[in-house]
Structure 1
Amino acid sequence: MWAGRAAAYAGSFAKLCAYPTRQLLDAAGVGPGERMLDVGTGPGTVAAAACARGATVTAVDAEPTMVQLAARSAPAADVRVAVLPELPFGDGEFDAVVANFVLNHVGRPTVALAELRRVVKPGGRIALTIWAAPPAAGQALLGRAIQAAGAVRPPHLPAGIAPEDDFPRDERGLTGLMESAGLREAACETVRWDHRTSAEEWWSGPAAGVAFGGQMVRSQTPRIRAEIKRHFDLFSSEFADGDGVLTLPHAALLARARR
């Protein structure tokens, strides 16, 4: 779903996902001299912010074009291709591990978390974010348009998480997931913010096939794609001010724990 889409992501959804960067690094206790791993770094936003704090940063992503972009964004970091749940690092190699909106995209989140636990040192910190469910109104905009247009899920898209591997996307559910992965002192809070963007910028990600929603859009017939765009424009007007700028409410879960 992400192959070759780093630039499209950076120009659209990356700005949204950058919002909790400071809180994420604070939750992981990232500061000068800390050895930090940023898993699923995307365009390198969190890695660059950690470098600015004086941390020694390693960043990984499964998508090579994301790695290229992150290497430019965070030139002081060691950026490389790597895929959960098999990270190319030794046990206890890092003081802190962060994952910004990554567990949304793995099929077995408990297994992924266990790998994050493996590579952080005893007593080390793990901090992560995921999208809350049910989604906030701004987050649900594209999904509403896809549903209203009668789009059909194509067979090539991943089926999602199996029921036995899924968990409630709320504070208690994410805390329980971290505890089930053997982490201690797990805690979770909800972070809410309004993302301001134009309708054109917000549509550019799905139009380019970014993430699951974008793949849903790109996989439809021309008629259904046009219907999705028509409903997107209609629903976007609910969030637009007099200048056409959208104010999109979002909510994410921010969790922290120790090995």
Structure 2
Amino acid sequence: MTIFTPFDAAERRTWAGRAAAYERSFAALCAHPVPTLLDAAEVRRGLCVLDAGTGTGSAARAAGGRGAAVTAVDADPNMAARAAATAPGVAVCVAALPRLPFADARFGAVVGNFVLNHVGRPRTALAELRRVARPGARIALSIWAAPPAPGQTLISRALQAAGVPRPAHLPTLAPEDDFPRTQEGFADLLHETGLTAVRCEILTWEHRTTAEQWWSGPAAGLASAGQILMSQPPEVITEIKRQYAALCTQFTAPDGLLALPHTALLASAQA
């Protein structure tokens, strides 16, 4: 079986060279679960911790702030470089699940903030995280829940309102590799991998941002919605943004900022 899938290849292309755009737009949103994630992994002073799929390093920085000895990996070299620049004392390298360059049982805790949303074979990736965790180590992971919260679908609804369909060529996970993005489905995934003491909770929050800042991520090609947006001719992009502006009124708070509801799942278990 090939380790990397067409979905993995598409993810590499989507995020390549876009670390700065991610940091300006979606990074603050994705950082929200980090304190709860580190608590679930029991990250503390002196513990050897792996942050898998570090992005621009929010979880790695926070773990280092707790006094842990942190190693962070990301599949994108620009993301890894940004994490290294902003997380002093963290050892950062370029590596992609499900193949990590570490010995068995290397880490006393493992965290992955939304990393499973970006891999083609989540079970294989999770097995790799278990491999590098010491017996008894806590593994904590977050994913986006399904169905998604209204704030998470704002851009895709603007695309739909403008009459732009999802292109057939955008890869999705094979049915045999996917799993239900629910509390029960996520917990079952961890059980299937042989992890024990599994816990899974729902996280809900409103992400506060400006309409322009939120638009800037897809406008830079981030995520599948950004890839769809960038492939459109200028007149269609103008119509999408018009629809987006109209939809933003549903989420605009009295202070003018958007208050975007989001829902994630956070699961943890023992290796």
Identify the TM-score tier after normalising by the shorter chain.
over 0.9
Counterpart of 1:239 (choices 251, 258, 264) is 251
**TM-score normalized by the length of structure 2:** 0.93
**Structure 2 equivalent of residue 68 of structure 1:** 81
| Residue 213 of structure 1: aligned partner | 225
What RMSD over aligned residues (CA atoms) do the two structures have, in Å?
1.0
Q: Distance in 1 between matches of 2:251 and 2:127?
A: 40
The residue number in structure 1 matching 2:90 is 77
Structure 2: distance between partners of 1:156 and 1:74: 37
Q: How does 1:47-126 map to 2 (within 5 A)?
A: 47-126=60-139
Aligned mate of 2:199, from 172, 187, 192: 187
Q: Percent identity?
A: 59
Report the equivalent of 2:174: 162
Distance in 1 (alpha carbons) for counterparts of 2:23 and 2:259: 19
Moved more, 76-85 or 145-154: 145-154
How far residue 254 of structure 1 moved from its aligned partner, in angstroms, is 0.5
The letter for the 1-side match of 2:230 is R
The within-5 A match list for 1:4-15 is: 4-15=17-28
2:259 is paired with a residue whose SS is strand
**Which has the larger displacement, 144-153 or 172-181?**
144-153
Q: Give the drift of 1:132.
A: 0.6
Q: After alignment, is 71-80 or 217-226 more displaced?
A: 217-226
Question: Is the aligned partner of 1:20 residue 2:20?
Answer: no
Give the drift of 1:60.
0.3
Unaligned runs of 5+ in 2: 1-13
Number of residue equivalences: 258
Match of 1:145 in 2: 158
Displacement, 1:250? 0.6
Q: Please point out which of 222, 228, 250 is paired with 2:240.
A: 228
TM-score between the two structures when normalised by the length of structure 1? 0.97
Q: Which piece of structure 1 moves more, 245-254 or 214-223?
A: 214-223
SS at match of 2:249: helix
